[in-house]
Homo-oligomer: A and B are copies of this chain.
Amino acid sequence: MVEKIIPDIVVGRLPIYLRALQRMMEENRRVTSSQELGERLGISAAQIRKDLSQFGEFGKQGTGYAIEYLAEQISKILKVDRVWDMAVIGAGDIGSAVARYQGFANRGLRVASIFDSDPAKIGTKVGPFTVRDSQKLKNSIRKAGIQIAMIATPSQAAQAIAEQLVAAGVKAILNYAPINLSVPEDVRVQYVDPVIHLQRMTYYL
């Protein structure tokens, strides 16, 4: 059977649907509709139905979606029905905030280790983690089989770190350094740069 290729833009909306469904579960809700989801998310109901239909039949005409079931199915599709270990590189303000972030729980992700190159930081505690020497990053990540990393180093260091991560077998990088990374095609990078989001809004002020 040929696997259907799903557009990345559709894949990108699934985590947003999942977050909204998990919020509804916290509100002890049982059933929702594409209309309600759409209103919460500012996405049209038709778009949501179309996106979800790419993966199967999750709701019935007239009865809507069972929230818990749909959340489980989307978790499976996104492969976050398990827990992925992640490495954080850079124990500055942002790296430390990320390492201590409570928001990964129940969302399929867990910080496993944090690295820094600064001798003053190596060995200190960040939340429950002891900061490790980033010179040992490659072996340590390879040995642990970690496939996801977050880069929170200064911009100048980010590309070299990315190359070490790739050499260690990392396939997904969330980059907080405000610089574009060059990586092989089989490695995915997503960017978090608050300025990019803010400048997109100043245009409209």
Which A residues between 149 and 205 are near B, CB-CB below 8 angstroms? 150, 155, 171-172, 174, 178-180, 182, 188, 190-205
Assess whether A192 is in contact with B203, with CB atoms less than 8 Å apart. Answer: no
Assess whether A203 is in contact with B97, with CB atoms less than 8 Å apart. Answer: no
Assess whether A200 is in contact with B190, with CB atoms less than 8 Å apart. Answer: yes
Assess whether A172 is in contact with B190, with CB atoms less than 8 Å apart. Answer: no
Copies per assembly: 2
Assess whether B79 is in contact with A203, with CB atoms less than 8 Å apart. Answer: yes
CB of A170, distance to nearest CB on chain B (Å): 10
Which A residues between 2 and 59 are near B, CB-CB below 8 angstroms? 8, 11-12, 14-16, 18-20, 23, 40-42
Segment among A63-71, A103-111, A114-122, A128-136 that sits at the interface with chain B? A103-111
Assess whether B15 is in contact with A172, with CB atoms less than 8 Å apart. Answer: no
Assess whether B178 is in contact with A198, with CB atoms less than 8 Å apart. Answer: no
Assess whether B148 is in contact with A108, with CB atoms less than 8 Å apart. Answer: no
**9 nearest A-B pairs in the assembled complex, by CB-CB distance:** A172-B201, A15-B199, A190-B197, A93-B97, A15-B196, A97-B97, A188-B201, A79-B202, A107-B195
